[in-house]
Amino acid sequence: MEFDKNKIDQKLLFMDTCLNKLKKLRAFDKDAFIDDFTKVDSAKYLLQVSIDAMLDISSHLIDRNRWGKPKDNKEHFLPCLMKNIHDNFGLVIYFHVSNKNKFQIKRNLFLLINN
């Protein structure tokens, strides 16, 4: 399998930065969080750009390995799933991942790339 290690590393670093910011937001109690639109909007943004980074990684793998052209975001993960990349890279369809494990994807990618 071909991929640009620097490109993947850059996306993983970005996702890790987002995760650390989300952890800081998690420290607020529920009411304080919900009552402050800046916290809510920040969390939404950080989740969205993290998902975008996951899509960028899957797009990169698909393009580099000529696995087809996905029609939508969900299909970005299908070639990776069919190639059993999900076992090695932790790439799974986002909607099937529990909230607790969404960012395990970046950890699994990091471990594989650095082995």
Per residue in 43-55, pLDDT (tens digit) is 889 988 988 888 8
Q: Which of 81, 105, 113 is nearest to 18 (CA)?
A: 105
Q: Which of 99, 115, 110 is nearest to 47 (CA)?
A: 99
Angle (CA) 109 44 48, round 5°: 40
- Predicted structure pTM score: 0.66
What is the total count of domains within the chain?
A: 1
Q: Which residue range(s) make up the domain with 88?
A: 5-113
Tens of pLDDT along 57-103? 888 988 898 888 888 877 776 666 666 554 444 443 344 445 445 45
